[in-house]
Amino acid sequence: MNVRNWMAAGVLQILVAWAAQPVLAADHLKVAMMDQQQVIERSVAGKRALEELKSYSTTRQKIIDSDDQELKDLEKGMQDASLSEDARKEKQEHFRTKLEAYQRRIQDFNREVQEKQRGMVAEYAQKIQAAAAAVAQKEGYTAVLDKGSESTVKIVIYSHPSVDLTEQIIKEFDRQNK
């Protein structure tokens, strides 16, 4: 074998070894799955946060319902046949003013609830990430992926139940967020 062939064979061996490295690294890759939505819905802290959000929303809905009833009563009052034209116009103007305030209030409340929900999601995403990292490090996982759900983005199409860490992450999440 001449030097040129020997060098080419050596380069080829180096290239084969280099190309095989990702395959070897993949043999040591340990990946798990979790369901963030389940962590929020089933953990003690998550249930508490969802209940607070529901209570916040329910309180606002009661105010909207009260305003809605007031508008219905005002509308009935405008139907009174014994009203003079001036009284009818005054009631219509009062109704229009109340209706505009009602619509603004609905928009404001919807925005408030959405902001509160976004804030909760952001806060709990960080807390879930911390719990997932703790479990993954303890169990020797390289990565933990969120399975997602039909209502969110579903990234993982299939995973074996043996790599689902949701239960362990719920326990760790509760331990970290008493």
Contacts of 124 (CB under 8 A, 6+ apart): 40, 45, 46, 49
| Ranges of H-type helices in the chain | 3-27, 36-42, 44-78, 85-139, 166-176
User: Full-prediction pTM beyond 0.85?
Assistant: no
Residue 78: what pLDDT?
Answer: 82
pLDDT, averaged across the chain = 83
What percentage of the chain has pLDDT greater than the value 70? 84
* Residue-number span of the structural domain to which 135 is assigned: 3-176
**Residue 20 clears pLDDT 70, i.e. is over it:** no
Residue 123: what pLDDT?
Answer: 93
Rounded to whole angstroms, the Cα distance separating 61 from 67 reads 10
Report the range of poorest mean pLDDT among 58-62, 85-89, 154-158, 161-165.
154-158
Residue with the bigger pLDDT between 16 and 160: it is: 160
- Domain tally for the chain? 1
**Residue 14 clears pLDDT 50, i.e. is over it:** no
- The enclosing domain of 144 has a CATH number of 3.30.910.20
Residue with the bigger pLDDT between 78 and 133: it is: 133
Residues 105-130 have pLDDT tens digits of 999 999 999 999 999 989 999 999 99
